[in-house]
């Protein structure tokens, strides 16, 4: 018999108020350069006076005596180790594990234990009295002995969410500066993804750029499990202020938007390669190195190693895939009725990329090469608007759909307190930087 018991934990609400950010100790004004290392801290509401007894509710089959922690043994699963081997090692009779596996349902999970997982056992008089096994972050399988054998209980606990924040200034690389500010590698990559449509993190980053991030932290039984998602963020790049907030619409779709409700995601990514250098810019009067004459260069050349994956910069349909004169191996994509992109000099067009096929933004469509009129391996990339060539590096990229009109009231309720928190943290960071330089605070951004 499997009895599911739901334990409901009350998550602390996010409270945005001035003074949440702790003022960071400023570096000495005598230092030659500013090293604002950032700040990472929980932003928690006052929990005094809370009656937790009324918050925790559980339904159980009968009264359970809560055993002392010293009664439990923790077993870390070794590679290839089975439940029977664990019981043998603990001196428990085979009848115990056989009876447990006969329970079926959730107890079946104990047949497929993985290395690194843990079992918690409580033994009484040479027999198993109770077993606990974490199914996932919020579900625990509890098996205990009763007067009629064993029974399995699944405890479902709601994960507690606590907002936290981090801010810092870039003095070397984004990754190192964000690490010093307390952000995990995953959160750094998420921040780069949020602002990646507006900031080229390979070329645009400058010393003195700043960031503020409010993110989620997940807790279970008062212990931190992991960092969650970014809730809101600010990135100041060369005095250009960008802000984003996370929002889930009525259909369950989650994305990042500006405080006004415009999508942070654009219909196109700026560059079709992850690793590159620009070897030739868009130039109507360019001297062609192979033809030895003036010939308009209607795109941008991205130098990269042969075989470097090429990504579609926007969702669209293939209108050409094959050899195209001086372009060599070439793919042309149409994006609706307005936009078209061209990718030339490929060493190879990826299998499945053929005329009429649909592609998604970021999908690999081919690989860098030097086919056609090319002096070395690179990608020639063109961007056309209503049939007219535009500079791929500077053309204004259209954004994806904004927050739906019907969702705007909910969006404003979500974004307003988050943006207030970002404003508070941004002001605190700016004041710390000004004080470190021996200057009067100049106000908020």
* For residue 78, pLDDT beyond 70: yes
CA distances from 170 to 38, 167, 244, 343, 439 (A): 9, 10, 19, 34, 20
Under 8 Å between Cβ of 217 and 163: yes
The DSSP symbol for 81 reads -
Range of the domain at 301: 277-390
Residue 164 lies in a domain: no
What six digits make up the tokens of 289? 């190195």
258-280 average pLDDT score: 88
Whole-angstrom distance, CA of residue 351 vs CA of residue 79: 39
Position 142 scores a pLDDT of: 92
**pLDDT-above-70 percentage for the chain:** 77
Position 158 scores a pLDDT of: 81
- Which tops the pLDDT comparison, 355 or 159? 355
Residue 318 lies in a domain: yes
* For residue 344, pLDDT beyond 70: yes
Residue 297 lies in a domain: yes
Position 220 scores a pLDDT of: 82
Name, in order, each residue with C-beta under 8 angstroms of 177's C-beta and a sequence gap of 6 or more: 38, 168, 169, 170, 171
Residue 409 lies in a domain: no
Position 162 scores a pLDDT of: 92
Range from 138-147, 301-310, 334-343, 378-387 carrying the lowest mean pLDDT = 138-147
Position 289 scores a pLDDT of: 56
At 202-223, the pLDDT tens digits run 778 899 999 999 999 999 888 8
Whole-angstrom distance, CA of residue 30 vs CA of residue 323: 63
* For residue 63, pLDDT beyond 80: no
Whole-angstrom distance, CA of residue 403 vs CA of residue 263: 7
Strand 149-157 relative to strand 2-7, pairing: parallel
Position 400 scores a pLDDT of: 86
Q: Give the highest mean pLDDT range of 149-153, 175-179, 230-234.
A: 230-234
Residue 284 lies in a domain: yes
Q: Give the highest mean pLDDT range of 158-162, 406-410, 432-436.
A: 406-410
Q: At which residue do the structure tokens 């469509």 appear?
A: 365
Whole-angstrom distance, CA of residue 342 vs CA of residue 331: 6
Under 8 Å between Cβ of 212 and 181: no
What six digits make up the tokens of 40? 């990472």
Identify the CA nearest to 217 among candidates 425, 11, 420, 418.
Answer: 11
* For residue 25, pLDDT beyond 90: no
Position 293 scores a pLDDT of: 53
370-385 average pLDDT score: 94
pLDDT band at 290 (very low <50, low <70, confident <90, very high): low
Whole-angstrom distance, CA of residue 211 vs CA of residue 169: 7
Q: Which helix (H) or strand (E) holds 367?
A: strand 364-368
Identify the CA nearest to 287 among candidates 296, 279, 298, 278.
Answer: 296
Position 79 scores a pLDDT of: 93
Range from 19-28, 141-150, 180-189, 378-387 carrying the lowest mean pLDDT = 19-28
Neighbours of 355 (CB within 10 A): 12
CA distances from 276 to 109, 200, 297, 304 (A): 47, 12, 19, 5
103-124 average pLDDT score: 89
pLDDT band at 89 (very low <50, low <70, confident <90, very high): very high
- Which tops the pLDDT comparison, 439 or 196? 196
- Positive or negative: CA dihedral 334, 335, 340, 341: negative
* For residue 41, pLDDT beyond 60: no
Mean confidence (pLDDT) of the chain = 80
Angle, CA 228 vertex, CA 224 and CA 231 arms, to 5° = 130
Residue 331 lies in a domain: yes
Residue 144 lies in a domain: no
CATH number of the domain bearing residue 360 = 2.70.70.10
Residue 58 lies in a domain: no
Identify the CA nearest to 280 among candidates 249, 301, 295.
Answer: 301
Under 8 Å between Cβ of 424 and 43: no
For the chain, the domain total comes to: 1
Position 49 scores a pLDDT of: 41
Position 71 scores a pLDDT of: 80
Angle, CA 82 vertex, CA 79 and CA 86 arms, to 5° = 100
**pLDDT-above-90 percentage for the chain:** 54
| Entry pTM | 0.56
Position 286 scores a pLDDT of: 55
User: Side-chain half-sphere of 9: how many Cα atoms within 13 Å?
Assistant: 17
Position 150 scores a pLDDT of: 92
Position 283 scores a pLDDT of: 67
- Which tops the pLDDT comparison, 20 or 404? 404
Position 3 scores a pLDDT of: 39
Under 8 Å between Cβ of 156 and 5: yes
* Phi, psi (rounded to 5 degrees) for 127: -125, 155
């Amino acid at each position: 018999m499997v009895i599911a018991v739901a334990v409901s934990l009350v998550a602390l609400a996010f409270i945005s108020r001035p003074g949440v950010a702790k003022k960071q100790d400023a570096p000495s004004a005598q230092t030659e350069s500013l090293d604002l290392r950032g700040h990472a801290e929980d932003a928690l509401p006052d929990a005094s006076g809370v009656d937790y007894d009324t918050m925790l509710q559980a339904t159980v089959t009968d009264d359970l005596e809560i055993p002392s922690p010293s009664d439990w043994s923790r077993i870390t699963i070794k590679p290839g180790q089975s439940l029977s081997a664990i019981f043998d090692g603990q001196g428990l009779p085979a009848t115990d594990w056989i009876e447990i596996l006969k329970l079926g349902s959730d107890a079946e999970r104990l047949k497929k234990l993985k290395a690194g997982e843990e079992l918690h056992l409580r033994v009484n008089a040479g027999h198993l009295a109770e077993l606990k096994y974490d199914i996932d972050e919020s579900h625990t399988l509890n098996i205990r002995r009763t007067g009629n054998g064993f029974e399995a209980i699944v405890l479902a606990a709601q994960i507690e969410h606590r907002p936290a924040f981090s801010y810092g200034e870039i003095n070397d690389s984004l990754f190192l500066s964000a690490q010093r500010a307390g952000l995990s590698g995953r959160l750094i990559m998420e921040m780069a993804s949020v602002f990646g449509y507006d900031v080229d993190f390979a070329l645009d980053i400058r010393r003195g750029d700043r960031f503020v991030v409010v993110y989620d932290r997940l807790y279970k039984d008062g212990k931190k499990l992991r960092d969650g998602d970014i809730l809101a963020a600010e990135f100041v790049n060369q005095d250009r202020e960008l802000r984003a907030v996370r929002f889930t619409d009525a259909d369950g779709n989650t994305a990042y938007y500006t405080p006004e409700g415009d999508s942070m995601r654009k219909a196109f990514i700026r560059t079709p390669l992850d690793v590159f250098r620009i070897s030739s810019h868009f130039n109507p009067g360019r001297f062609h190195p192979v033809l030895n004459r003036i010939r308009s260069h209607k795109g941008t050349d991205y130098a990269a190693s042969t075989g470097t994956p090429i990504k579609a910069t926007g969702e669209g349909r293939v209108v050409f895939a094959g050899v195209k004169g001086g372009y060599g191996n070439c793919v042309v994509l149409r994006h609706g009725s307005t936009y078209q992109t061209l990718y030339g000099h490929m060493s190879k067009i990826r299998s499945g990329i053929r005329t009429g096929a649909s592609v998604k933004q970021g999908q690999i469509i081919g690989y860098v090469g030097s086919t056609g009129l090319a002096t070395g391996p690179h990608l020639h990339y063109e961007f056309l608007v209503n049939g007219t060539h535009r500079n791929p590096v500077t053309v204004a990229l259209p954004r994806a759909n904004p927050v739906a009109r019907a969702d705007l009231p909910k969006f404003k309720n979500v974004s307003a307190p988050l943006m207030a928190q970002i404003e508070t943290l941004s002001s605190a960071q700016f004041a710390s930087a000004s004080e470190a330089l021996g200057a009067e605070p100049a106000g908020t951004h």
